[in-house]
């Protein structure tokens, strides 16, 4: 498992969005306030056919206020996103990549935030294929139920992962690593765990 091929694009540019075909892409978002549409950072971890991970993240101007709680949580403020693209500006470019691949999220929040942001910005809600790495982790490490749980923070400790929690790129990479480690633990591929065919996902036009 190669976890060192990590690329982090410029936080305010979209021309470095990963290109090519991947087994799956883990996605994570951070929000500026209690409104799910207030995405202020998007992170992707693209898992290659050789299990290498290419990480990309971008700050987003949510066009909504930043609550003190959220700023304290992830460290992103209105100043951080000065001159950053809005969700409406960056999403069409991301959608070209994401609609071609199975997506992984750690909990259902990210899917909800993307759908809510699309609605808030008057964008077409895409057909995306989501899997939940929490569900995969529960299958791989059932002993953690009632013993710390399957949240990213506890899995970080249990699995010996190194990442900065509440950074969208880092959290996306952690979700991807959890899936790859679960494959080893269960002796089953992601495609088997989710009953998906990679070839089908990469060739199907949504």
Domain boundaries, the chain: 24-201
pLDDT above 90 (res 61): yes
Q: What's the pLDDT at 119?
A: 96
Of 167, 198, 193, 200, the residue nearest 178 (C-alpha): 193
Residues with Cβ within 8 Å of residue 12, at least 6 apart in sequence: 58, 59, 83, 84, 85
Q: What's the pLDDT at 76?
A: 96
Place of tokens 């065919």: 197
State percent of the chain over pLDDT 90: 72
Range ranked top by mean pLDDT from 157-161, 173-177, 193-197: 173-177
Q: What's the pLDDT at 161?
A: 80
Q: Are strands 53-59 and 39-47 parallel, antiparallel or unpaired?
A: antiparallel
**Arithmetic mean of pLDDT, 192-198:** 72
* Cβ neighbours, 10 Å, residue 29: 25
Residues with Cβ within 8 Å of residue 94, at least 6 apart in sequence: 17, 42, 44
Dist CA 54 CA 9 (whole Å):
10
pLDDT above 70 (res 172): yes
Q: What's the pLDDT at 13?
A: 56
CATH number of 24-201: 3.30.420.10
CA atoms within 13 A on the CB side of 110: 28
Q: What's the pLDDT at 65?
A: 97
Do residues 69 and 166 lie in contact, with contact meaning Cβ atoms separated by under 8 Å?
no
Task: Choose the weakest-confidence range: 20-24, 33-37, 48-52, 145-149.
Answer: 145-149
Do residues 23 and 53 lie in contact, with contact meaning Cβ atoms separated by under 8 Å?
no
Q: What is the pTM of this model?
A: 0.87
Question: At CA 108, angle to CA 106 and CA 189, rounded to 5?
Answer: 50
Q: What's the pLDDT at 196?
A: 61
Q: Alpha helix locations (H) across 40-129?
A: 68-74, 87-98, 109-120
């Amino acid at each position: 498992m190669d976890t060192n091929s990590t690329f982090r694009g410029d936080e305010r540019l979209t021309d470095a969005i990963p290109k090519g075909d991947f087994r799956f892409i883990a996605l994570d978002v951070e929000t500026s306030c209690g409104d799910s549409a207030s995405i202020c950072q998007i992170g992707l971890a693209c898992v290659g056919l050789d299990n290498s991970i290419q990480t990309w993240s971008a700050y987003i101007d949510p066009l909504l206020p930043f609550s003190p709680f959220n700023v304290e949580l992830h460290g992103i403020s209105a100043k951080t996103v000065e001159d950053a693209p809005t969700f409406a500006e960056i999403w069409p470019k991301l959608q070209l990549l994401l609609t071609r691949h199975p997506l992984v999220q750690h909990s259902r929040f990210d899917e909800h935030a993307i759908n809510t942001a699309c609605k808030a910005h008057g964008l077409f809600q895409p057909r995306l294929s989501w899997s939940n790495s929490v569900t995969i982790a529960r299958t791989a490490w059932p002993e953690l139920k009632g013993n710390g749980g399957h949240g990213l923070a506890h899995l970080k400790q249990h699995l010996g992962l190194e990442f900065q929690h509440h950074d969208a790129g880092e959290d996306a990479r952690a979700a991807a690593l959890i899936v790859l480690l679960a494959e080893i633990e269960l002796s089953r591929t992601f495609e088997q765990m989710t009953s998906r065919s990679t070839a089908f996902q990469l060739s199907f036009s949504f």
